[in-house]
Structure 1
Amino acid sequence: MSAERSPACLQTSKKNPAKVPKRIHKAERGKLKREHLNELFLELAGALGNI
């Protein structure tokens, strides 16, 4: 196996064309989690700045 992935591996499963690979869902969940944490840290920074 090569270190690089072919574009074919990013396509949907042959069994169920509507199914999205789990790693894409995981990446999206991770991105949303990081964005949410960043928002919380910005709120905290604002609250601490007002003290």
Structure 2
Amino acid sequence: EYPDGTSESRELELGELPKILTEVFDIDLTDEDANALITAPWTRRNQPN
């Protein structure tokens, strides 16, 4: 959120999460952890079975 009260948002692709965590939050994941993050069961909740 900006000082004037505006904000920006966008949806991320699952594959972008590890990069965003590093760039925005300075969280470095191992390849194994990044894979676990993007393949976690909660990532499939909106996908058809």
Query: Which structure has greater helix proportion?
Result: 1
- Specify which structure has the bigger relative contact order, considering alpha-carbon pairs within 8 angstroms and separated by 6 or more residues: 2
User: Which has more radius of gyration?
Assistant: 1
- Same fold judged by TM-score > 0.5? no
In the superposition, the TM-score normalised over structure 2's length comes to 0.27
TM-score by length of 1: 0.27
